[in-house]
Amino acid sequence: MLIESLQNKSLYDHAVDEFQLLETHISWVLLTGPYAYKLKKPVDLGFVNFTTLELRKKYCEEEIRLNRRLAPDLYLKVIPITGTEAAPELDGSGEIIDYAVQMVQFAQEDLLSHAIEQGTLTAAHIDSLAEEVAEFHAKIDVAGADLEFGMPEKIMAPVEENFRHLGALFSSDAAVQEMVALIRAENERWYESHQGLLAQRKSQGFIRECHGDMHLGNMILSDTGVTLFDCLEFNAALRWVDVMSEVAFVVMDLEDRGHADFAMRFLNRYLELTGDYAGVPLLRFYLSYRAMVRAKVAALRLSQHHFSEAEGAAICEEFWSYLKLAKNYVTP
């Protein structure tokens, strides 16, 4: 496999400390010491399609464009991989077989997800994060009336897709089916009574080209405060969203990690900076949606079977935690 063949120090024009491979349901990240190389898995999961070389190139380029809005010093360039899977070259002269995004490598200990686990995340860090997000939301592109993004039915589509996806993955699990059906019914009930507010958010310019995947695992502590990275590049509809949906992702993640105090601090600081109090009635709907997104990601990881028994048990626990959180957000 290509990802194994790339773990050869002679392929790189820089020193390599040691190789470490990180894997998600849609990508591999190869750590070398000074730099990281991110490759997209050739998968089609419905909401993401990386099955062709052309698509992987396109989304590598999108990844650079989107992330330079927030982390220009981290994201360097797209590198073509040439040769064969058994004998690849980086930016060689032969036939291109794949592409990688080259990034400046950072210490995994700098991730906010690590800091909160270690108890080193502070109120000052949360304030810095709120300020970074508010500033980002103020300057990104707004979806005009000519774009379908943000129309009520377009907002509901990925919500429904999460339910369909989990229903298919757990077709023989009655407990999951029952929980998903309950969450779905509550979300649909909320949607029917709030379509006017959703349409108003679109007309008032709150649908923007956001980060798309704003949780603590995609943030690092840096010299300037908090740096966000790993924008969602593979599906524009999941990125062009209400800014309050993005805020909800951070709030949900902090609450899931046992820090409701930080969640409220982040939300209150963001609202103070932006004045977007009109978006608060949307919050529980988006909190439930974001918890379902993370439940789906955990379920996809479970379906790929590349883990030990202990890792599988941890992912399963994570899945149920998100599912229960999604239910709690929308049930009285």
Residue 152 DSSP one-character state: H
**Token code pair at residue 301:** 């990881």
Q: What is the CATH number of the domain that holds 224?
A: 3.90.1200.10
Q: How many domains does the chain have?
A: 2
pLDDT for res 306: 74
Q: Is 20 helix (H, G, I), strand (E, B) or coil?
A: strand
Could you report the per-residue pLDDT of 44-68, keeping only the tens digit for each? Answer: 999 999 999 999 999 999 999 999 9
Q: Kindly state whether residues 324 and 194 are assigned to the same domain.
A: yes
The predicted model scores a pTM of 0.94
Could you report the per-residue pLDDT of 178-205, keeping only the tens digit for each? Answer: 999 999 999 999 999 999 999 999 999 9
Give the domain extent around 200: 110-330
Q: What is the mean pLDDT of the chain?
A: 96
**Token code pair at residue 258:** 């046992």
* Beta carbons of 151 and 202 less than 8 angstroms apart: yes
CA–CA separation, 305 and 320 (whole Å): 18
Given 83, 105, 127, the domain boundary residue is 105
Could you report the per-residue pLDDT of 130-167, keeping only the tens digit for each? Answer: 999 999 999 999 999 999 999 999 999 999 999 999 99
**What band does 113 get if pLDDT is binned at 50, 70 and 90?**
very high
Q: Kindly state whether residues 320 and 266 are assigned to the same domain.
A: yes
Q: Kindly state whether residues 292 and 225 are assigned to the same domain.
A: yes
Given 71, 105, 139, the domain boundary residue is 105
CA–CA separation, 295 and 252 (whole Å): 12
Give yes or no for residue 72 having a pLDDT over 90.
yes
pLDDT for res 224: 82
Q: Kindly state whether residues 136 and 153 are assigned to the same domain.
A: yes
